[in-house]
Amino acid sequence: MDPSRISLRPFKLSDVDDFLKWASDDRVTRYLRWSSVNSREEALTYLEKVAIHHPWRRSICLDDHSIGYISISPESGDDRCRARLGYALAAEFWGQGIATIALKMAVSSVFKELAGLVRVHAVVEVENKGS
């Protein structure tokens, strides 16, 4: 995979159709804290109320088409210097190194964008071999 084709950017409402393609796939959402999205209306609502307003959620894009996301969520209180990382990628792009490239991009920029952040961590499900 040519890394120059991969980018991270905030979600837009115009991502709805691309988002619906991968967010409706139970294989993709299996290890997420949210269930598969089942309609265009649900996808629009999720983008509008959750993804766009999240402090640091970016669309993983291939040639500017959304194929997944990375979310870095700062903790609160005394732990605000730490953040949790989560991500998902459309199943058709698994095993191509895209998530690795996107995660490296995210981690290198989030420390510049979120003041006071010193640590990013992720919890991985044992059954999720790819992660």
pLDDT tens by residue, 52-104: 999 899 999 999 999 999 999 999 989 989 999 999 999 999 999 999 999 99
Q: What is the pTM of this model?
A: 0.93
Q: What percent of the chain has pLDDT over 90?
A: 82
pLDDT tens by residue, 10-48: 999 999 999 999 999 999 999 888 899 999 999 999 999
Helix (H) or strand (E) holding 72: strand 65-74
- pLDDT band of residue 49 (cuts 50, 70, 90) is very high
Paired strand residues for 89: 68
pLDDT for residue 1:
81
Q: Cα separation of 87 and 71, whole Å? A: 6
